[in-house]
Amino acid sequence: MSVENAFEMPDPGRNDEYWYNYGYNALDLTVDEYAYDETDFGSYGINDGEVRADETDWDELHLRGRIKVPDGLLEYVLEDDATPGDATRLLVCADCIQTHNRFVAAEPIDVMTGSVEFEATFQRDLLAGTVKLSPVLVRSNAPQNDDNEDFRYGQTPGIRLADGRDVYLHVDSPDDESGSFLEIMSKRFEDPLPEDNVFDLEHSPADDPTFYVNSRIDLLVPALKNRAPHGSKRWTREVLERLIGHPVWIELVLWTAADIQNGECQHGWQRDVVKTLTEHMYDHDDPDETARDLEERISDPERVPMLVEEINESLQEYFDPRSDLENLFEEVL
């Protein structure tokens, strides 16, 4: 058995949603290449769980990828005499929150341990925003006779047996979705980034900074990408966005202040920062006056600590993390 591809037995303490043997986060979905309409397949725009299909117009999108099924998973979720190919179905489920469109995007024929290939096709007029692609293993039939019934296993046809790492297909740009200049991306942090860091603000290129979160951290990216309208998943997302966003915004404001020359910002996103700061930290409504004040104060080392304190207080008021924390606590405690 390959150690790298071995199924890790879940902690029994996590089994609060499924009473039977369930493969939590056991499947690994990867998109290898895609093609627009009649174009050739390629991998441009694919980055660690993200597929960017929002930079050109298309009518039909074709994806090719793989689902990794770890050693030991099928034995864990099925009774001894069940045949994986007969008793299970391996699916790629698509969930487009903005259009309320949920469907099976691909159903690979063979269910086996190892890497299972799949293909999926999407119609542009049925999608908007971001589509979450999820690998799911489900039960396809009940035991052949009553003697095989066992409460330790999910034996009802259609019941989920395992889930795994999602991939996010972006069909509209972040600006189209939210109007935010700072896009949140994910990648696996490696040297020179500390592997345990949660996030990183990449300054290059300076006119288009990128906010990365660390996909090494189990469930962090799915928690941030979920679009649940209510419940614990929603408030988990809201709390994470605010607690992570707070230090990033402090960095953005100080970066902006240091770049201002003669009252002028150097990049378009910095004007957005100054405008937001004007609305929440200043008594006036003139971004130009805010820019001049920031330039003056950042150039005086003795005034910087007070500036940072004011920025911190204003951002806490802006993000209002307390209300989201209270909502989350009500859901989970």
Pair 251, 201: CB distance under 8 Å: yes
102, containing H or E segment: strand 101-106
Q: How many residues does the chain have?
A: 333
pLDDT value for 118: 93
Q: Is 222 exposed, middle or buried (CB count within 10 Å of its CB: 0-12, 13-18, 19+)? A: buried
DSSP secondary structure code for residue 178 in this structure: H
How far is Cα 300 from Cα 292, in angstroms, rounded to an integer? 13
Closest-CA residue to 209 (of 220, 217, 200, 222): 200
Pair 63, 119: CB distance under 8 Å: yes
pLDDT tens for the chain, 333 residues long, are 444 567 676 554 444 466 788 888 899 999 999 998 888 898 887 887 889 888 788 899 999 999 999 988 988 888 877 777 778 889 999 988 666 678 899 987 677 778 889 999 999 888 888 898 999 999 888 776 665 566 778 788 888 899 988 899 988 865 444 334 566 788 889 888 899 999 999 888 888 888 889 988 888 888 887 766 667 888 898 899 888 888 999 999 999 999 999 999 999 889 989 988 888 888 888 999 999 999 999 999 999 999 999 999 888 888 888 888 998 998 888
DSSP letters, 248-264, are HHHHHHHHHHHH-BTTB
| Sequence ranges of the domains in the chain | 12-173, 180-332
Round to the nearest angstrom and report the end-to-end CA distance of the chain. 40
How far is Cα 269 from Cα 308, in angstroms, rounded to an integer? 20
pLDDT value for 91: 92
CATH 2.60.40 for the 12-173 domain, yes or no: yes
CA quadruple 322, 325, 327, 330: dihedral positive or negative? negative
pLDDT value for 177: 41
pLDDT value for 319: 80
Query: CB-based contacts of 199: which residues, under 8 Å, 6+ apart?
Result: 211, 212, 213, 214, 244, 248
How far is Cα 193 from Cα 195, in angstroms, rounded to an integer? 6
How far is Cα 243 from Cα 220, in angstroms, rounded to an integer? 13
Given the DSSP bridges, would you call strands 160-165 and 23-36 parallel, antiparallel or unpaired? parallel
Closest-CA residue to 247 (of 201, 187, 288, 208): 201
